[in-house]
């Protein structure tokens, strides 16, 4: 036999495994939702804001960023029609007359507005406007009709057990009992870690997007304070048992059981036993 | 001294010959053979921590008010059962450590059994004369699932209470006898009658542990009686000769070391990583639920199945014959376990191999078995992952509805794809080895020829 | 006496000396050793030290556990876990090192047991058959014994039926709702029709009934009346558009605690109840019909009426059995 060293064929398993891995990553990427963004024309910030009064600023901001969907005087647009102003959004949006200051303050401070397109799901985002602009826009929208003011929740000293009771009754089905977020058919429900007391109170009263809205009859101010206190507490729940690993129960627990115990204990077995050696 | 002690015992029990045999019983040496021991040691930790917990748990659904040290529950009405678990967690010293260790041990116990089962399957250790050992093992796996389910349901928290409702629905969904069966177990329509909780308790702390313990003893006795299987190495290991490490002194420190490693891992997890923080969930009420509720991992395959089955009840007119949860919650696990139980005989039938085997196959040496096993596992794993699709959505943003459709397609297609690919891989590995062996042969031949003095050339 | 006597004495002396030497020799010669069973191994003093250190370390950790238990420090669970886990880990390491370095590694061979002992199998079979050879009516005896065994077995198992109402499934249809029963909230306060806004959902219970009955909790919503499209016969079930449905999902029994209420309907999914377990989605406007998810049966609807005081009351019982479906249940 000649001395030529023939190559040992590479097991197709290797290339197969890589192909599988690549296709998994690609399909995950394809299935992922596009991230929300600014209006296609971009946020319009009027020049020379310092020189403007709050009302003027609010008017200009509204005209440049909101009127395409909410109408030139905030009357709302029920049936979508092409925008006549800047950008090419087909305008469609609710009537803002009478929503007061509470709704615009919530949506703007949590970056849920403006949307890129009317059908987009509002999601939490860094605010698109600075504080003065938000106050201006809020004041402007509030001036369109009489509506509820920005709430001032007082969560201090409230009963956490009352908060847990109320939160479980009204909120946990969507938001998960310690606010870790969840799913409702066709939309996700946000995690509550970043919500400030004001935002929590606003969301409860406004009922943004698909969330039910609770008036003072449904949840009194006193009860709302308890809910706010509970939500704030649940940002850092009592982790007497150690690492919280997500506070949603068995899914991360199962992963930890397999990863930690699996690695560690199979590793110990590997140290103890011999490998299959060819003698 | 030692001699006297041994003498004392032997004269009164006659145990010396048995002890001598046992001390020198040979264990074939391979890391994968230790997985069953990991399960065994997890079981021991479970029993030890479980006994401790029975001293503090109150299996009683009478209503009471909480006045313990966890503030958000003070003044809240709850059952005695839930209260006792919160007390164990906050007001019994070392209570939370033992409780969490117990729960981690349960998760790890089932994981170890599954790994062990996979090893047994892919190496063909279930073949004659070990079919009985294998069946007992699968039976133990089957028993651990309700045992764990009952264990975490005893706490009567919001998450496990929702799980009990789902279990009730699956029992109800069995055609013809479902209503009777569910009422038999619960004593009354959900949430059950006053004795239900103490029945769960007795089942969990006594009936199931005794069953599992007895089966375990028989399983170990059978393993020793038929002797451990081994991988075949060229030379010393064969169908007749077992090569291994004696129980004493070689295997004992290893096994003991593994036991303490398992105990160490479980207690470290029990102290450092939180599991099932029932005080966060609150007590269970029929009219309440929370998002993100899931069963413990070893039942995740069932919630996946429940979510994947499309929305239909089998009806005639307006009468329901087969409610929806039956397919995913009852039929699916029955099929999986039936397949597991029947496999040794299925394989015998199809392969025609009825010989006894003491030497194991490497997975590549049995391409069909490995491929079918891999395909089957893929099927079950995909359904298992589907169970967490909503958390994947929350975490990664991939649409839940799209995921469900994707999984529905994958669970049909992927097992076959994996089967074909695995078979190819096994055959390719075999071929590669054969080529390598030929090469080595040739090289040895060449060496031998070179070493020999003046070879007379043949005509 | 004389010469012979002295010679004899000298002989005796010599003999006793020789004897003494012999005894001494016997003492110094070791007893013949038994053959070794366990192979010999080289000692490893360094590893011995390591194992001793680890064992002492494990002891220290175990003592720490006791100390921590007795004390009242914060993070007790974590400290206790570290202590006992550490003790076990060190002990495990000591044993693993011992297994590799302190005890001898032997690799021995022995024969596998025979698969089955045909001779003894024959003996066992023979014992049984020879016993049976005395009987003339074997088949009948076997049949009778089988019948006795089966019947006795059944008789012994039957009392288990006392665990639950096995034969009577009527209780699955039980509901505490009756015509005229008032709707109350979790605290027992009655719901008035004016309490029900159309922007959220409410959980209600029958007055003076245990809340933990499966058919007790209901969800109440208000829908614009001209959106209603209820099944036939339910025209008066929703006064002012106020609807009530069982809160227990017909799929697997979880509480249907999610409600989608669109702020701007033209761009959002329609209003619906959703169950957080497997996401069965029910449409309140069309009688609780399933619009997504694995549920196969509509959510049972409770007819409502508004009494003279403006309180909400049930106008009858549910449209169907509450809770998960079962064999024979009518949709």
The secondary structure of A74-139 as a DSSP string is: S--EEEEEE-SSSS--EEEE---TT-TTHHHHHHHHTT--S-SSTTSPP-----SS-HHHHHHHHH
Task: Give the nearest chain A residue to B272 (CA atoms).
Answer: A242
Residue ranges of A 243-262 with Cβ closer than 8 A to chain B: 243-245, 247-251, 253-258, 260-262
Taking the C-alpha atoms of residue A19 and residue A13, their distance in angstroms, rounded to an integer, is 10
- Residue in B254, B258, B356 closest to C115 by CB: B356
3-class secondary-structure state, position B144 = helix
Q: Residue C10 — pLDDT band, cuts 50, 70, 90? A: confident
All residues of chain B having their beta carbon less than 8 Å from the beta carbon of residue A272 are 31, 34, 254, 257-258
What pLDDT is attached to residue C19? 72
Pinpoint the alpha helices (H) of C71-166: 76-97, 118-132, 138-157
> CA dist B387 to A20, A251, B147, B297, C140, Å?
22, 9, 21, 10, 55
Nearest to residue A241, comparing CAs of C69, B101, C63? B101
Helix (H) or strand (E) holding B241: strand B241-246
Query: Global pTM?
Result: 0.89
Q: Chain B residues with CB inside 8 Å of C111's CB?
A: 240-242
Of A184, A209, A211, the CB nearest to C274: A184
Q: Which residue has the higher pLDDT, C27 or A44?
A: A44
What is the C-alpha to C-alpha distance for residues C106 and B252, in angstroms, rounded to an integer? Answer: 12
Nearest to A257 among B280, B293, B297 (CB): B297
Quote the minimal CA–CA distance from C261 to chain A in Å: 5
- C226-271 pLDDT tens trace: 889 999 999 999 999 999 999 999 999 999 999 999 988 888 899 9
Contact call for residues C245 and C300 (beta carbons, < 8 A): yes
pLDDT band at A274 (very low <50, low <70, confident <90, very high): low
Contact B169, B330 (CB under 8 A): no
Residues of A in Cβ contact (< 8 Å) with C279: 183-185
Average confidence (pLDDT) over A39-67: 84
Chains with 3+ CB–CB pairs under 8 A to C are: A, B
Helix (H, G, I), strand (E, B) or coil at B245: strand
Helix (H) or strand (E) holding B244: strand B241-246
Between the alpha carbon of residue B263 and those of residues A250, B52, C84, C87, the distances in Å are 21, 16, 9, 10
Are C76 and B93 an interchain contact pair (Cβ–Cβ within 8 Å)? yes
pLDDT lower than 70: segments of chain B: 233-236, 453-459
Quick check: C77 and B100 CB within 8 A? yes
Residues of A whose CB is below 8 A from B432 = 8-9, 11
Tell me if A54-142 shares its fold with A160-233: yes
List the end-to-end C-alpha distance of chain B, in Å, as a whole number: 76
Assess contact for A134 and A105: CB atoms under 8 A.
Answer: yes
Residue pairs spanning A and C at CB distance below 8 A: 89
Q: Are B186 and B193 in contact (CB under 8 A)?
A: yes
Residue of A nearest to B111 (CA): A258
Question: In chain B, which residues have their Cβ closer than 8 Å to the Cβ of C166?
Answer: 180, 183-184
Contact A96, A70 (CB under 8 A): yes
A36 reaches C (C-beta below 8 A): no
Q: From C297, which residue of chain B is nearest by alpha-carbon distance?
A: B313
Does B282 reach chain A within 8 Å, measured CB to CB? yes
Q: How far is A221 from chain B (nearest CA, A)?
A: 20
Q: What is the CA radius of gyration of chain A?
A: 27
- Chain B residue whose CA is closest to A159: B72
Write down the domain spans for chain A: 54-142, 160-233
| Beta-carbon separation of A173 and C255 below 8 A | yes
Euclidean distance between CA atoms A208 and A123, whole angstroms: 10
Which residue does chain C place closest to A203, by CA atoms?
A: C263
CA dihedral over B439, B442, B447, B450, signed as positive or negative: negative
- Exposure of A229 by Cβ count < 10 A (0-12 exposed, 13-18 middle, 19+ buried)? buried
> In this structure, are residues C199 and A207 in contact, taking their beta carbons and an 8 Å threshold?
yes
Query: In whole angstroms, how far apart are CA B269 and each of B101, C85, C109, C157?
Result: 7, 8, 40, 43
Which residues in chain C have their CB less than 8 angstroms from residue B254's CB?
A: 95-96, 99
The chain C residue lying nearest A214, using CA atoms, is: C200
C258 neighbors B291 (Cβ within 8 angstroms): yes
Whether residue C166 has pLDDT greater than 80: no
- List, as own/partner pairs, every contact residues A74-82 make where C-beta atoms lie below 8 angstroms and the sequence separation is at least 24, other chains included: A74/A141, A74/A144, A78/C266, A79/C266, A80/A118, A80/C266
User: Dihedral of the CA atoms C237, C242, C248, C250 (nearest 10)?
Assistant: 50
- CA atoms A48, A54, A57, A61: torsion sign: positive
Q: For domain C173-314, give the CATH superfamily.
A: Rieske [2Fe-2S] iron-sulphur domain (2.102.10.10)
- Closest CA in chain C for residue B267: C85
How far, in whole angstroms, is CA C41 from its chain's centroid? 47
What are the C-alpha distances in Å from B348 to residues B126, B131, B339, B342, B369? 11, 11, 14, 10, 11
Chain A partners within 8 Å of B431 (Cβ): 9
Decide if pLDDT at A64 tops 80: yes
For residue A46, pLDDT over 90 is answered with no
Cα-Cα-Cα-Cα dihedral sign, residues C221, C225, C228, C233: positive
Residues 6+ apart with CB under 8 A from C258: A173, A174, A184, B291, C273, C274, C275, C276
pLDDT of residue A33: 46
Contact at 8 Å (CB) between A186 and C267? no
Across the range A197-226, mean pLDDT stands at 95
Q: Which CATH code fits B36-232+244-286+325-340? A: 1.20.810.10
- DSSP label of C162: G
Tokens describing residue C300: 């049972």
Computed over every residue of chain C, the mean pLDDT equals: 90
Average pLDDT over residues C87-92: 96
Residue in the structure block whose two tokens are 């919160």: B86
Residue C26: which H helix or E strand, with range? Answer: helix C3-28
Give yes or no for residue A31 having a pLDDT over 80.
no
The more confident residue out of A262 and B220 is B220
| Interface membership of A176 toward B (CB under 8 Å) | yes
- DSSP state for residue B130 in the 8-state scheme: -
> B98 to each of B103, B263, C85, how far by Cα in Å?
9, 12, 12
Q: Among all chains, which residue has been given the structure tokens 């509030």?
A: A142
pLDDT for the residue numbered A89: 55
- CB contact at 8 A, C38 and C104: yes
Name chain C contacts of A186, Cβ cutoff 8 Å. Answer: 260, 269
**Is A270 in contact with B31 (Cβ distance < 8 A)?**
yes
Determine the pLDDT at residue A184.
93
Q: Which of B227, B268, B309 is the closest to C112 by Cβ? A: B227
| C212 to chain A, closest Cα gap in Å | 15
Q: What are phi and psi of A276, to 5 degrees?
A: -75, 105
Q: Please give the Cα distance from B81 to B197 (Å, whole number).
A: 9
Instruction: Kindly determine whether residue B26 and residue C109, on different chains, have CB atoms separated by under 8 Å.
Output: yes
Chain B residue with minimum CA distance to C219: B287
Q: How many CB pairs under 8 A join B and C?
A: 302
Every domain of chain B and the residues it spans:
36-232+244-286+325-340
Least confident window among A79-93, A150-164, B294-308, C255-269? A79-93
Flag whether residue A253 sits within 8 Å of chain C, measured between CB atoms. no
Q: Furthest-apart CA pair in chain B: how many Å? A: 105
pLDDT at B457: 55
Share of chain A above pLDDT 70, in %: 81
Q: Is A183 on the interface with C (CB under 8 A)?
A: yes
Mean pLDDT of A91-110: 93
pLDDT in the model for residue C329: 86
In this complex, the residue of C167, C169, C324 whose CB is nearest that of residue B168 is C324
The pLDDT value recorded for residue B370 is 95
Specify whether the backbone of C272 is left (phi greater than 0), alpha (psi in -120 to 50) or beta: beta
Encode pLDDT of C43-54 as tens digits: 888 899 999 999
Interface check for B439 against chain A (CB to CB < 8 A): the answer is: yes
- Residues near A71 by Cβ (< 8 Å), separated by ≥ 6? A77, A91, A93, A95
Contact B323, B181 (CB under 8 A): no
Is A276 a residue whose pLDDT tops 80? no
Of C89, C276, C324, the CB nearest to B289: C276
**CA–CA min distance A92, chain B (Å):** 24
Q: Domain A54-142 sits in which CATH superfamily?
A: Cytochrome c-like domain (1.10.760.10)
CB contact under 8 A, C279 and A185: yes
pLDDT at B241: 80
Flag if A186 and C197 touch (Cβ within 8 Å). no
User: How distant is the alpha carbon of residue C152 from its chain centre?
Assistant: 32
Question: Which pLDDT belongs to residue A32?
Answer: 52
Strands (E), chain C: 108-111, 183-184, 202-206, 218-222, 242-246, 258-260, 272-274, 281-283, 289-292, 301-302, 304-306, 312-314
> What pLDDT was estimated at residue B397?
84
Report CA A203 to chain centroid distance, whole Å: 13
- Inter-chain contact C108–B309, Cβ cutoff 8 Å? no
DSSP state of C117: -
Reference A67, options A98, A101, A47, A44; nearest CA is: A44
Three-state SS for A218-272 is CCCHHHHHHHHHHHHHCCCCCCCCCECCCCCCHHHHHHHHHHHHHHHHHHHHHHH
User: Does position C22 have pLDDT exceeding 80, yes or no?
Assistant: no
Q: In this structure, how many other beta carbons lie within 10 angstroms of the beta carbon of residue A227?
A: 27
* Residues in Cβ contact with B420 at an 8 Å cutoff, skipping those fewer than 6 apart: B371
A10 pLDDT band, cuts 50/70/90, is very low
pLDDT at position A11, please?
Answer: 46
The number of beta carbons lying within 10 Å of the beta carbon of residue C85 is: 24
What pLDDT was estimated at residue A17? 62
Min Cα–Cα distance to chain C from A107, Å: 13
Q: Which residues of A touch B89 (CB under 8 A)?
A: 240-241
Distance in angstroms (rounded) separating the CA atoms of residues C175 and C248: 12
At C179, list the tokens. Answer: 């015509």
Judge: domain A160-233, CATH 2.60.40.10: no
Residue A116's pLDDT is 84
In angstroms, rounded to a whole number, what is the distance separating the alpha carbons of residues B325 and B327? Answer: 6
Q: How confident is the model at residue A87 (pLDDT cuts 50, 70, 90)?
A: low
CB within 8 Å: C115 and B227 = no
Assign residue A122 a region (left: φ > 0; alpha: ψ between -120 and 50; beta: otherwise).
beta
DSSP assignment of B65-114 equals E--SS-GGGTT-EEEHHHHHHHHHHHTSTTHHHHHHHHHHHHHHHHHHHH
**Nearest C-alpha in B relative to C114:** B226
B26 touches chain A (CB under 8 A): no
CA–CA gap between residue B268 and residue A242 (Å, rounded): 10
Of residues A206, A242, A271, nearest to C78 (C-beta): A242
- Going by C-alpha positions, the residue among A85, A86, A67 that lies closest to residue A76 is A67
């Amino acid at each position: 036999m000649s001395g030529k060293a023939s190559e040992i064929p590479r097991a197709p398993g290797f290339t197969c495994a890589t192909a599988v891995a690549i296709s998994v990553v690609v399909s995950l990427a394809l299935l992922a939702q596009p991230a929300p963004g600014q209006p296609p024309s971009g946020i319009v910030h009027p020049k020379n804001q310092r020189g403007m009064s709050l009302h003027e600023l609010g008017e200009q901001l509204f005209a440049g960023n909101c009127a395409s969907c909410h109408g030139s005087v905030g009357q709302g647009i029920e049936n979508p029609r092409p925008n006549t102003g800047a950008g090419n959004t087909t305008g469609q949006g609710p009537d803002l007359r009478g929503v007061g200051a509470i709704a615009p303050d919530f949506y703007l401070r949590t970056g849920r507005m403006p949307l890129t397109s009317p059908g987009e799901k509002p999601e939490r985002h860094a605010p698109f406007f600075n504080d003065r602009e938000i106050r201006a826009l809020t004041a402007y929208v509030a001036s369109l009709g009489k509506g509820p003011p920005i709430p001032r929740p007082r969560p201090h000293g409230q009963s956490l057990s009352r908060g847990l009771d109320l939160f479980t009754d009204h909120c946990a089905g969507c938001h998960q009992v310690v606010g870790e977020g969840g799913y409702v058919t066709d939309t996700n429900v946000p995690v509550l870690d970043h919500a400030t007391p004001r935002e929590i109170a606003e969301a409860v009263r406004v009922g943004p997007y698909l969330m039910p809205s609770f008036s003072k009859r449904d949840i009194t101010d006193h009860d709302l304070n308890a809910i706010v206190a509970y939500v704030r507490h649940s940002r850092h729940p009592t982790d007497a048992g150690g690492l919280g690993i997500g506070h949603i129960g068995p899914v991360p627990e199962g992963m930890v059981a397999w990863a930690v115990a699996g690695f560690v204990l199979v590793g110990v077995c590997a140290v103890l036993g011999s490998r299959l050696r060819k003698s | 001294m030692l001699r006297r002690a041994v003498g004392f015992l032997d004269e009164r029990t006659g145990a010396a010959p048995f002890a001598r045999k046992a001390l020198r019983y040979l264990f074939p040496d391979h890391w994968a053979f230790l997985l069953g021991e990991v399960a065994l040691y997890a079981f021991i930790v479970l029993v030890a921590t479980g006994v401790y917990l029975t001293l503090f748990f109150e299996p009683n659904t009478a209503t009471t008010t909480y006045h313990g040290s966890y503030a958000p529950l003070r003044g809240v009405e709850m059952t005695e059962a839930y209260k006792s678990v919160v007390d164990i967690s906050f007001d019994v010293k070392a209570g939370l450590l033992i409780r969490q260790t117990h729960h981690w041990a349960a998760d790890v116990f089932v994981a170890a059994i599954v790994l062990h089962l996979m090893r047994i399957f892919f190496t063909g250790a279930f073949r004659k004369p070990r079919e009985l050992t294998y069946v007992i093992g699968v039976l133990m796996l089957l028993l651990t699932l309700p045992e764990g389910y009952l264990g975490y349901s005893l706490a009567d928290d919001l998450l496990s209470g929702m799980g009990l409702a789902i279990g009730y629905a699956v029992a109800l969904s069995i055609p013809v006898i479902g209503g009777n069966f569910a009422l038999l177990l619960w004593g009354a329509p959900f949430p059950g009658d006053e004795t239900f909780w103490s029945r769960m308790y007795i089942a969990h702390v006594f009936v199931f542990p005794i069953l599992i313990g007895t089966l375990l003893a028989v399983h170990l006795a059978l393993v020793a009686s038929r002797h451990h299987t081994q991988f075949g190495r060229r030379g010393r290991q064969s169908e007749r000769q077992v090569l291994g490490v004696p129980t004493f002194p070689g295997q004992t420190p290893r096994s003991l070391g593994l036991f303490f490693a398992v105990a160490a891992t479980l207690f470290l997890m029990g102290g450092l990583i939180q599991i099932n923080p029932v005080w966060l969930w609150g007590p269970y009420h029929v009219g309440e639920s929370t998002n993100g509720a899931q069963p413990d991992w070893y039942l995740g395959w069932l919630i996946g199945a429940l979510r994947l089955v499309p929305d239909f009840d089998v009806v005639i007119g307006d009468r329901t014959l087969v409610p929806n949860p039956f397919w995913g919650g009852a039929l699916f696990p029955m099929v999986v376990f039936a397949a597991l139980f029947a496999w040794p005989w299925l394989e015998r039938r199809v392969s025609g191999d009825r010989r006894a085997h003491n030497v194991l196959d490497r997975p590549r040496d049995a391409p069909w078995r490995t491929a079918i096993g891999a395909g089957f596992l893929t099927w079950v794993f995909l359904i298992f992952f589907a169970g967490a699709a909503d958390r994947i959505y929350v975490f990664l943003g991939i649409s839940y509805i799209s995921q469900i459709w994707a999984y529905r397609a994958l669970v049909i297609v992927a097992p076959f794809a994996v089967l074909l690919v695995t078979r190819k891989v096994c055959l390719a590995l075999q071929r590669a080895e054969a080529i390598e062996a030929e090469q080595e042969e040739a090289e040895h031949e060449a060496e031998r020829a070179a070493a020999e003095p003046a070879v007379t050339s043949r005509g | 006496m004389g010469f012979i006597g002295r010679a004899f004495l000298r002989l005796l002396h010599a003999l006793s000396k020789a004897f003494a030497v012999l005894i001494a020799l016997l003492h110094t010669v070791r007893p013949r050793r038994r053959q070794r069973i366990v192979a010999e191994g080289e000692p490893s003093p360094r590893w011995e030290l390591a194992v001793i250190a680890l064992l002492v370390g494990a002891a220290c950790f175990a003592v720490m556990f006791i100390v921590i238990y007795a004390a009242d420090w914060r993070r007790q669970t974590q400290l206790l876990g570290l202590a006992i886990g550490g003790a076990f880990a060190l002990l495990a390491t000591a044993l693993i090192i011992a297994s590799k370095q302190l005890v001898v590694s032997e690799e021995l061979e022995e024969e596998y047991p025979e698969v089955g002992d045909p001779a003894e199998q024959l003996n066992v079979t023979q014992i049984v058959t020879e016993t049976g050879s005395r009987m003339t009516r074997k088949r009948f005896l076997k049949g009778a014994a089988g019948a006795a065994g089966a019947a006795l077995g059944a008789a012994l198992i039957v009392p288990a039926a006392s665990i639950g109402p096995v034969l009577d499934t009527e209780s699955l249809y039980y509901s505490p709702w009756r015509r005229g029963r008032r709707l109350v909230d979790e605290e027992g306060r009655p719901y008035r029709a004016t309490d029900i806004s159309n922007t959220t959902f409410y959980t209600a219970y029958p007055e003076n009934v245990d809340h933990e009955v499966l058919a007790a909790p209901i969800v109440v919503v208000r829908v614009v009346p001209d959106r209603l499209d209820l099944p036939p016969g339910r025209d008066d079930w929703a006064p002012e558009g106020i609807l009530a449905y069982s809160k227990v999902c017909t799929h697997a029994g979880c509480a249907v605690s999610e409600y989608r209420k669109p702020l701007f309907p033209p761009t959002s999914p329609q209003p619906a109840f959703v169950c957080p377990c497997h996401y069965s989605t029910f449409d309140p406007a069309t009688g609780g019909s399933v619009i997504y998810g694995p549920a196969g049966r509509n959510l049972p609807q409770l007819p409502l009426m508004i009494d003279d005081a403006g309180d909400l009351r049930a106008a009858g019982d549910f449209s169907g059995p509450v809770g998960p479906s079962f064999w024979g249940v009518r949709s």
